[in-house]
């Protein structure tokens, strides 16, 4: 049996998309979680205790640089995802 190929109309495209979504709901739900996790990780990386002194130690400076770097990476990931 051979099927003729024809371009689908808009209704056919939407019907097929909903059919795929129903068949693989866990996959789509899992993919949808990633932007939220990236945003949560970015927010959690920005929460830290304030040193409260004018001169920061080497560890605090490294932590601040890591926080800014992680914030940048998570922002870019959030935009992409």
pLDDT digit string (tens) for 8-32?
899 988 998 899 989 999 888 888 8
50 occurs within a structural domain: yes
Could you give the number of structural domains in the chain?
A: 1
Look at 25 and 2; give whichever has higher pLDDT: 25
Structure tokens at 14: 């939407």
63 occurs within a structural domain: yes
CA atoms of 35 and 29, how far apart (whole Å): 11
Question: Residues with Cβ < 8 Å from 25, sequence gap 6 or more?
Answer: none
Angle at 63 (CA atoms; ends 51, 70), nearest 5 degrees: 130
Q: What is the extent of the structural domain holding 43?
A: 27-80
Nearest residue to 81 via CA among 42, 26, 23, 24: 42
45 occurs within a structural domain: yes
17 occurs within a structural domain: no
Least confident piece of the model among 13-17, 33-37, 47-51, 66-70: 47-51
Structure tokens at 13: 């495209």
């Amino acid at each position: 049996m051979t099927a003729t190929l024809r371009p689908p109309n808009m209704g056919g495209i939407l019907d097929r998309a909903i059919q795929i979504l129903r068949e693989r709901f866990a996959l789509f739900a899992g993919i949808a979680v990633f932007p939220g996790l990236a945003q949560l990780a970015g927010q959690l990386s920005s929460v830290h205790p304030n040193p409260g002194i004018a001169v920061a130690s080497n560890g605090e400076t490294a932590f601040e640089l890591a926080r800014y770097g992680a914030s940048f990476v998570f922002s870019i990931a959030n935009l992409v995802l």
